[in-house]
Amino acid sequence: MSRKKWQLLGLLTAAGAVVVGLVTAPASAAGGVSAVFAKGSDWGSGYEGKYTVANGSGSALASWTVEFDLPSGAKVASLWDGSYTTSGQHVTVKGTWNGTIAAGASASFGFNVTYSGSYTAPANCKLNGGSCAAGGTPPTSTTTPPTTTTPPTTTPPTTTTPPTTTPPPATGGKGAPYLYLGWGNPPNPQTVMNATGVRWFTMAFINASGGCNPAWDSSRPLTGSPDAAAIAQIKAAGGQVVPSFGGWSGSKLGPACSTPEALAGAYQKVIDTYGLTAIDIDIENSDEFENAVVQDRVLGALKIVKQRNPGVQTILTFGTATTGPNYWGTRLIEQSKALGAGVDTYTIMPFDFGGGADMYQSTVNATNGLRDKLKATFGWSDATAYTHIGISGMNGLSDQQELTDLTTWSRITSWAKGNKLARLAFWSVNRDRGCAGGGVQEACSGIAQDDWAFTRITAGF
């Protein structure tokens, strides 16, 4: 399932342009569809939209179509999260999510269209039950409801002989919340460390810059950037970082690097630059997670990294259903064994998955689903499987308005600690500030809380 649509949280407040759009639901999603389009984020110019499909009947595959008109002078330069066609200024975006939405639940999706040319941005617009502000009008054309397809049924490739050694449990970055310097009023990391006792941060996101070259958000260099300064500050205070590659949006290294060797070289450059002991590959979306070729390329690269750096912990982070890994997650795990990737930690993101009111139980269920898959794949015991599992949650309100409050996060942390899980993270330190009733924000949690409360809990993991 899609995850770092987390990056789209910045849309609500950052300066930029907006899309005027219309979303159509799959025929079986009787609950209807809501669409909210907001301003582009400050990490790059472009039109961005976030929308939710709500299913009021039985389970349904989430197919979607979005139509919008570009302002005069704007042109499509690229698109993430789907395919698109253009007719003049009119753009049609289509895509699918390979999963199901239970009755009464919903799933959020996102897209981004970058542009060229000058333009006058229309106002924010909410359609399908909402209203358009002055300057924003919905397109006059109608969309054709997307067809409902069936989930992939391709049998995963036949596995080869498993590696003869089992990777040791991960030891790096056990409690390491995400810190992102791209937006969201990034806090001073040393201030957070002093206030909470946390010593590890997961730094997001390293992606491709001009081909198979790593850079923060594809734009900020590895050295001489605010990210590099923050890492130096964290280390000076006795801490360490786990850089995260990938995420939901952006130009990612997995597709950009043509071979496992080239991709491993990109990972190695980051390892060498910062003297790392752990890296996180946040593998998401149709360009990496839902792409068999790129999945295998990432796993092949991690195998090379492990051979070159036996002491560096390798982490895979990916989405999940409430019952555990979906088709693509299952394939990723099976292929990691088949290719001998030697992955240390498999981290799931248990949110934006129709988790319902009880996010503690949904998280436990999803984690145990992963445990069972690791046991079946590697022949591990419950205890061994847990030592190769991580949880990466979302503090406060998720994109789907799932609520993980401080009590819930404390319970999740205690459960993870009691079962000796390898890793605990959340998105994000930027959001670890209170704003009760504020909704989903990039610089606060949307709930009442003290600053850095989630980080303080995580530091005790």
Condensed to tens digits (0 to 9), the pLDDT of residues 12-31 reads 222 222 333 333 433 333 33
pLDDT in tens, 332-353: 999 999 999 999 999 999 999 9
pLDDT of residue 356: 86
CATH number assigned to the domain with residue range 178-460, chosen from the 4 options 3.20.20.80, 3.40.640.10, 2.40.280.10, 1.10.10.10: 3.20.20.80
* Whether the Cβ atoms of residue 51 and residue 33 lie closer than 8 Å to each other: yes
Closest CA to 53 of 102, 86, 125: 102
Q: Start-end ranges of CATH 2.60.40.290 in the chain?
A: 33-131
Closest CA to 449 of 391, 400, 395, 394: 395
**Cα distance between residue 354 and residue 401, in whole Å:** 10
Angle at 116 (CA atoms; ends 111, 117), nearest 5 degrees: 135
349 in helix, strand or coil? strand
Q: Is the pLDDT of residue 311 over 60?
A: yes
Crossing angle (nearest 10°) for helices 359-378 and 406-418:
30
pLDDT in tens, 246-275: 999 999 999 999 999 999 999 999 999 999
pTM for the model stands at 0.67
Q: Is the pLDDT of residue 11 over 50?
A: no
Kindly report the backbone phi and psi dihedral angles of residue 214, in degrees, each rounded to the nearest multiple of 5, phi listed first. Answer: -80, 140
pLDDT of residue 211: 95
Encoded tokens for 132 = 């358009």
pLDDT of residue 230: 97
Percent of all residues in the chain with a pLDDT value above 90, rounded to a whole number:
61
**Cα distance between residue 455 and residue 452, in whole Å:** 5
Q: Is the pLDDT of residue 102 over 60?
A: no
* Whether the Cβ atoms of residue 65 and residue 92 lie closer than 8 Å to each other: yes
Find all residues with CB under 8 Å of 406, minimum gap 6, and list them: 449, 453, 454, 457
Of 48, 67, 261, 284, the catalytic one is 284
* Whether the Cβ atoms of residue 390 and residue 422 lie closer than 8 Å to each other: yes
* Whether the Cβ atoms of residue 360 and residue 393 lie closer than 8 Å to each other: no
Name the strands in the sheet holding 47-54, side by side, starting at the edge strand that comes first in the sequence. Answer: 75-80, 106-116, 47-54, 33-38, 125-127
CATH number assigned to the domain with residue range 33-131, chosen from the 4 options 3.10.560.10, 2.30.29.30, 3.30.1490.440, 2.60.40.290: 2.60.40.290
Q: Is the pLDDT of residue 145 over 60?
A: no
pLDDT of residue 14: 23
Q: Start-end ranges of CATH 3.20.20.80 in the chain?
A: 178-460
Query: Using 50, 70 and 90 to split pLDDT, how confident is the model at 75?
Result: low
Closest CA to 9 of 38, 47, 44: 38
Residue 67 falls in the annotated catalytic set: no
